Structure 1
Amino acid sequence: MEKVVNINSGTRNISGVRKVGEEFAAEFEKLGFKNFWIKMPFEMKRAGHLYSQREGEDGPHILLIGHLDTVFSKDSDFQKFTHQGNHITGPGVVDMKGGDVVMLYALKALHACGILDGKSIKIFLTGDEENVGPPLSLSRRELIDAAKQSDMALSFESGQQDQAVIARRGASLWSLGVSAKRAHSSTIFSEDSGDGAIYETARILKKFHKFAQNMPNLTLNPAVIAGGTSAGFDAGSATWTSAGKDNIIPQVVESRGDLRFISREQLDDARAEMRKIIEENLPHTSAEITFTDLYPAMSITPENKRLLGVLDEVSQELGYGPVGPNQPGDRGAGDISFVAPHVASIDALGPWGGGSHTTQEWLDTEGFRKATKRTALLLYQIFQSHQRHPDGS
């Protein structure tokens, strides 16, 4: 873990992401895996993904998921692995190089016992989980294909001793544009001038706030706003600009943010409600909203619950206590979300710690050991209790 944490692999550090992938590929090869590097087009500015596999017909086909990149760029002040007692700090120790190492050493344990012989295992370590390269149809195509060829998927984002993830919310972006009549401020609210773009935006956002609060597992975040006589966005620098005068009724507002949801049905309902709200315009105003899909939702399924049941049984046999489901609202989106619509899935099998995406990111070494043991025995139990039928089911 020290070796890979000390290699900077911020998402846009293409050479760094590939170098971390090479380190893991060398270890997987020792365990009998064949490695493939899935390249992305140059214009996407992403490193690609490591795909490793062992082919066999003994037991279920399992997909293991992790990622190689972190949120820390080459010029970040947070670059080094440090270890004091049971406390490790460093970029990616829990998100998620630590999880990748848990996966690796659980497989090493099974390999040492000869348990991997004849087993079908796919490993997919993405290179851009922290900032997925568009279009998603290309950057996640092979991951989804691997899921469709598998019976179950296990993901190694950071975890907790008593919880795992069998549902996590999806993510969508929204962009709101509001227009109004420009006039002298002394005439605002008049029949001829109307209420202006900022009042109309305030009305819309207040209603967004009210309806979102009454929908379980749904959040709606207005992340940025700009308005006045002019407003604009520079995608290259992610900078918003606006201009206006105190004595002019504002004629434009631009706002954007994200929407988190627990199912496609909830997403569709939320979008329909948002469209309805923006149509209830104040005088002399109009509004338009557009949506962009990011991550699908990982919804609760009976198959996911059964995987959690196996993990719970293993954890209690190890003396670690019971494992229950994590609250979906407690986690952000992740690569497991692309897989979950196609196959039984569980996430947060990695080590426990905290401070993800901050310069205080840390890992508990005892939790790291427990997560590795628990993963090894979880895989062993799955291999022992699942047999593939002649028809492949």
Structure 2
Amino acid sequence: MTAPTHPRTSDELIRAEEPVLAHNYHPLPVVVARAEGAWVEDVEGRRYLDMLAGYSALNFGHRHPALVEAAHRQLDRLTLTSRAFHNDRLAGFAERLAGLTGQDMVLPMNTGAEAVESGIKLARKWAYDVKGVPADRATIVVAADNFHGRTTTIVSFSTDETARSGFGPFTPGFRIVPYNDLAALEAAVDETTAAVLIEPIQGEAGVNIPDDGYLAGVRELTRRAGCLFVADEIQSGLGRTGHTLAVQHEDVVPDVVLLGKALGGGIVPVSAVVGRREVLGVLHPGEHGSTFGGNPLAAAVGTAVVELLETGVFQRRAAELGEVLRDGLAALVGRGVVGFRSRGLWAGVDVDPALGTGRAVSERLMREGILAKDTHGSTIRLAPPLTITADELTSALASLEKVLAVDA
């Protein structure tokens, strides 16, 4: 195949993907070529306000100067050693991240799904080595409507048939209970339970926020039962909800926290398992690993991310602008919006089904220069970069109002 002799248009690039890319995504028909802050630009030069921020991977916006500088500086020195050797960036990254999250130890990985898989392995190893669960009997309790990734183990405990269908046989050892139901959770926990694994806020399910006291209840229940509380903060963490971690809304400290997405600053994939020494200390050389986990480039960018969060500026911005988002959405209830859930700069918006699916609304917003994404049915999610301004956010809400008008 010969390379095109001219720059290809958006339509041409989308058509070119069709025969050569696996169809595991259904993206909106926009082809991004450049980005800065909260804005992206397609190949024709049309600008869009990014109200998704890479599902929280771009919490600090596109190409944040401090993060780009950290990456450039490290690219000129060292990018990868593998974990066969030490590198001069990893210790500092682990120290800063442990301090930021109030935990003891860090296990660096790459993707969010890898962090979840690592958390599962850790919980099981801890159950056998520390709790004394008989070999191969450990169970982990999870919540219905969860989204923790798409590996074969993780989809084994998904309740989303699109994620599960056709990928069995499934990994045993998981018990599924309703989200936000402490009584059901308590009934599912027994002497074989290694951990309770939940999202403090369920993102993919439509930004489902539990009742006040639920997370504190999970913490107390797991403490009484002698099992671990593992919080998946891959989407909800690192400033998104107005705190460094979403569990901090209830002053809860889990045994293990799973991080990813924003930890790489939108530049490189970085994830981590952070937790108590008693838990992460069960790992010994050869029992778990990753060639790229903790690589110098990732550690440099991750450290720069932690430095941004240590200022508290982004957490405060998410809290303050979250009020603008909440008030703007509240004003649309009964005017195309039938309900919404928000915390910080994160919202799940339920659109009147008579006005279209979430996909249809997202396409209308795209034509207005706003990028958002549907989740299920007529629900869309909004998660702009924490660098967005109040004026930009208000403009996006005005566009949502426009596309939900009856004559849209």
- TM-score scaled by structure 1? 0.27
Structure with higher Rg: it is: 1
- TM-score scaled by structure 2? 0.26
